[in-house]
């Protein structure tokens, strides 16, 4: 099947690729050395790379004030294109429009790209947090990142010069949209469901994945390889777990694994929508949305992300939602089931979550065999056994991890 028969990128007929290569890249790098340097946070680096590889099509740079405000308040840019989370870059000093900048990673000091400033503006951080995260609570990890931003936002088109360490560090996993699209086209897939992962796959994830395979041509297991909050399992360990699971428990011809370079924002429903946007750019027609998608703590209801998809206006997003109810192991049913298929009581159920799994393993507790495949548990136990005391982080359980939260969908 030719690639032209795949779903269009979001808001565009073609991918907007801003990553320079070859002679063009070398020329821009020389120019970048002469420009004023501005350091980027880890989140901004990930956003820049996604713009570079076309993952954030149709964006051509960091957002200006009107796009920022429209995205926060209405999930819509000034050109009418749907976008759920502002993609912005902050700086401590005011910079005049027309200024050209060299964008540098604050961690590695590597030159990541260049920008021509179109606008420099201040924002109401609390306004952004309340719209994007539905809270301005300083305990929320996404809110913390916004509140830590510097005084000004700088907008402007960018040219991207590096993908950082991701291509080498996650070789065979890290992918550009043009690469995943080529794979899907060669396989002849027409319907592709994306599974978002920031945790190693437990049995609930596996169940969601196999439901998706039953109703689609193929599954794209697409995992975040950027930064997570303290206590989450590192990307390299998760990659190992997922590869092991796919190798042993999936029909390989029906699964493609990939990785993308963003930091987690923990924005719940809004991040679930962003996941749909860039999965469409990677070639996916469907986005799996299950319980507490992209959530953290008790900030969001278990199915708020599904509600967010249902409330989108017609034409906002071509990548459709594949909604799946709360899933768990039922001892009476003798397998993985959901609220739609299991008639038994909570006492007969083992609720599965990445949070509960991390807590049990970090504290050396028992993990029921039904929680995860033995090969995966072996990798995780080895990782937790290697941690020193000062590397361990207390993992707090919340209602969505234990089954104590409201398990019913909203009407």
Which listed residue (43, 198, 291, 349) is catalytic?
Answer: 198
CA 354, chain centre distance (Å): 15
Segment holding 348, helix H or strand E: none
Task: Using alpha carbons, select from 212, 193, 199, 227 the residue that is nearest to residue 46.
Answer: 227
Between CA 137 and CA 85 the distance in angstroms is 18
Asked whether 73 and 37 are in contact (CB, 8 A), the reply is no
Task: Using alpha carbons, select from 259, 197, 186 the residue that is nearest to residue 232.
Answer: 197
Q: What share of the chain is helix, strand, coil (3-state, %, to 5)?
A: 35, 20, 45
Q: Which two tokens stand for residue 243?
A: 């590869």
Asked whether 329 and 343 are in contact (CB, 8 A), the reply is no
Asked whether 354 and 396 are in contact (CB, 8 A), the reply is no
What's the DSSP call for residue 76? B
Which listed residue (199, 238, 265, 279) is catalytic?
Answer: 199
Q: Which two tokens stand for residue 294?
A: 């992209």
199 catalytic residue (yes or no): yes
CA 374, chain centre distance (Å): 27
Asked whether 158 and 51 are in contact (CB, 8 A), the reply is yes
Pairing mode, strands 37-40 and 100-105: parallel
Pairing mode, strands 100-105 and 90-91: unpaired
335 - beta bridge partners? 330
Between CA 321 and CA 227 the distance in angstroms is 25
What are the residue numbers of the active site? 198-199
């Amino acid at each position: 099947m030719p690639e032209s028969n795949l779903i269009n990128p979001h808001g565009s007929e073609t991918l907007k690729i801003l990553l320079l290569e070859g002679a063009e890249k070398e020329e821009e790098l020389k120019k970048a050395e002469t420009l004023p340097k501005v350091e980027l946070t880890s989140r901004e680096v990930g956003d820049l790379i996604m713009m570079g590889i076309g993952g954030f099509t149709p964006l051509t740079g960091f957002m200006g004030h009107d796009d920022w405000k429209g995205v926060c308040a209405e999930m819509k840019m000034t050109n009418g294109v749907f976008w759920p989370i502002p993609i912005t870059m902050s700086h401590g000093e005011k910079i005049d429009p027309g200024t050209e900048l060299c964008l540098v990673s604050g961690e590695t000091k590597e030159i990541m790209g260049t920008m021509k400033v179109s606008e420099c503006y201040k924002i109401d951080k609390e306004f952004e947090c309340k719209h994007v995260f539905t809270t301005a609570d300083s305990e929320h990890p996404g809110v913390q990142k916004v509140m830590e931003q510097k005084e000004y936002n700088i907008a402007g088109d960018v040219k991207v010069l590096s993908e950082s360490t991701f291509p080498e560090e996650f070789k065979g996993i890290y992918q550009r949209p043009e690469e995943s699209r080529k794979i899907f086209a060669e396989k002849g897939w027409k319907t592709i469901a994306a599974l978002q992962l920031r945790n190693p796959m437990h049995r609930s994830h596996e169940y969601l994945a196999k439901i998706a395979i039953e109703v689609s041509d193929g599954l794209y297991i697409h995992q975040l390889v950027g930064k997570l909050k303290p206590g989450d399992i590192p990307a390299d360990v998760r990659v190992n777990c997922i590869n092991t699971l796919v190798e042993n428990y999936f029909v390989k011809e029906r699964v493609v694994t990939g990785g993308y370079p963003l930091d987690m924002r923990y924005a719940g429903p809004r991040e679930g929508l962003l996941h749909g946007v860039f999965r469409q750019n990677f070639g996916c027609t469907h986005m799996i949305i299950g319980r507490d998608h992209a959530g953290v703590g008790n900030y969001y209801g278990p199915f708020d992300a599904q509600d967010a998809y249902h409330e989108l206006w017609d034409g906002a997003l071509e990548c459709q939602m594949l909604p799946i109810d709360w899933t768990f192991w039922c001892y009476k049913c003798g397998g993985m089931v959901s609220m739609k298929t299991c008639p038994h009581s909570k006492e007969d159920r083992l609720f599965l979550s990445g949070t509960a799994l991390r807590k049990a393993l970090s504290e050396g507790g028992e993990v029921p065999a039904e929680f995860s495949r033995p090969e995966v548990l072996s990798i995780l136990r080895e990782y937790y056994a290697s941690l020193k005391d000062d590397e361990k982080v207390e993992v707090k359980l919340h209602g969505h991890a234990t089954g104590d939260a409201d398990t019913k969908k909203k009407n």
